[in-house]
Structure 1
Amino acid sequence: MVSALIFAGGIGQRMKSLDIPKQFLEIEGKPIIVRTMEHFSNHPMVDNIVVVCVENWLDVLNQDIEKFGIKKVIKTVPGGATGYHSIHNGLLEVAKVAGDDDIVLICDGVRPMLSEELITTCIEDARKYESAVPVTPSIDSVLYSEDGENCNKNYERRKMFITQAPQGYTMRKIMWAHEQAEEKHLDPVSSGELLIELGENIHIFQGIRENIKVTTPEDLESLRAIQYYEHYKQFAKEVLKYGL
């Protein structure tokens, strides 16, 4: 069994959208979180979906799931105080239907440019390695600073990678990690970072640069530009096809 855990428990302060959490901002009439859910709903290897959401937006989420015909959603649950706690809430729901060897795909709700191939690779690698984290090579040099003002350390760019989502794990692996986090009072940024902090190796594989996480107003504009370009390409194909 493969479950998708989509978490959107935050309000997205960096987006600066005062009234609407970033996951509910619309692109051409469709909320970003709906576009994210659709990738998992339409994937033939995904069996069910659990969505974690800002508590006072759960009604809106459920209405959107029905309005846009999102299939496979078995439960929507309120988020926690942090991203980790939101994921934890979702995992407890997934654990009700999944066994130790089943796969869970953990993905933030603001990745509307996922691909079927990326999800497939994540599932297959998670089955093989018990963990699967998509990454892209860093195209920029990376410096380290303790205070944000002074720097005396840099990293080799060829060894630096940017993590993406979904991240795939066996339920046995990720539930063990969360049990450890609860015991040690850890609050990691991501599931991959949690496993590394616990001394585990994680398997990484090549992601896709188009798989952007919509976090800032600039990301939103990039997404809109990509959508406009895709429509332009489709229009150009039709023009060439019919000789208009």
Structure 2
Amino acid sequence: MVHVVIFAGGVGARMKSLDIPKQFINVDGKPIIIRTLENFATHPDVDDIVISCLADKIEYMWELIAQYKVAKVTSIVPGGENGHGSIHNGLVEVQRFSSPEDIVLICDGVRPLISHQLISDCIETATKYETAVPVTPSIDSVLQSEDGETCCKSLPRKQMYITQAPQGYTMRKIMHAHDEAERLGITNPISSSELLIELGETVHIFKGERDNIKVTTPEDLQFLRSRYYYKSFKNFAKEELKYGL
């Protein structure tokens, strides 16, 4: 089986929209998190979805799921103190009804442009290797700085990759990593893949998609809105041509 954990426990501080967490911002008529969920809910290989959400937004999340008729959501659990904690809470819920060989896809709630192909590639890679991390090659030069003011090392661009989500794992692999993190006192790894790497594991990467952005900043939101505006404009123009307008 294929399970999905969507973690949406953040408040969106970098979005500068303090009145509403970024995952609930509307874009072209739908909240960002609903668009993210729909990509998984409509994928034929996904069996169920667990959401790890801000505790005071759980009731609102259920209302949105009902309003937009999002299928396959089985549980909504409270988020943790950080992303890692929210993922952990979601995984613990999935563990109740999964087997160690099942695949779990872990994704933040603000990736509304995920394609079905990327989800399929993630499932296939995780099934084969137990780990699956989508990446895109860095197209920019990368400098390393210790203090944010001076640089003394340039990293080889051809070896640099940008990680994305969803990241896929067998339940056996990712739960072992979370158990080890708790034992070793690792409380805030940046992502699941970096947790595994910190624990000495090797993760398998595969080709991601540049459009698969994580909506984090106002610039990301502007890009997303422009994408949906362009899509709406194309559909409108197609209808005009169809009827000879």
TM, length-normalised to structure 1: 0.98
Deviations 1:19-66 (A, max 9, x none): 100000001221100000001110000000000011111111110011
**How many residue pairs were aligned?**
244
Does residue 200 of structure 2 align to residue 188 of structure 1?
no
Distance 2:59 2:214 in 1: 24
Give the C-alpha shift of residue 241 in structure 1: 3.2
Distance 1:128 1:242 in 2: 49
Does residue 120 of structure 2 align to residue 120 of structure 1?
yes
Partner of 1:139: 139
Partner of 1:90: 90
Structure 1 unmatched ranges of 5 or more: none
Instruction: Percent identity, please.
Output: 62
Letter in 1 for 2:223: S
Which deviates further from its counterpart, 222-231 or 233-242? 233-242
TM, length-normalised to structure 2: 0.98
Give the C-alpha shift of residue 157 in structure 1: 0.9
Structure 2 unmatched ranges of 5 or more: none
Partner of 2:63: 63
**RMSD between aligned alpha carbons?**
0.8
Deviations 1:136-195 (A, max 9, x none): 111111111111011101111111111000000000000000000000111201000001
Segments of 4+ in structure 1 off by > 2 A?
235-244
Letter in 2 for 1:82: N
Letter in 2 for 1:212: I
SS for the counterpart of 1:57 is helix
Does residue 158 of structure 2 align to residue 179 of structure 1?
no
Distance 2:238 2:165 in 1: 31
Letter in 1 for 2:93: E
Partner of 2:12: 12
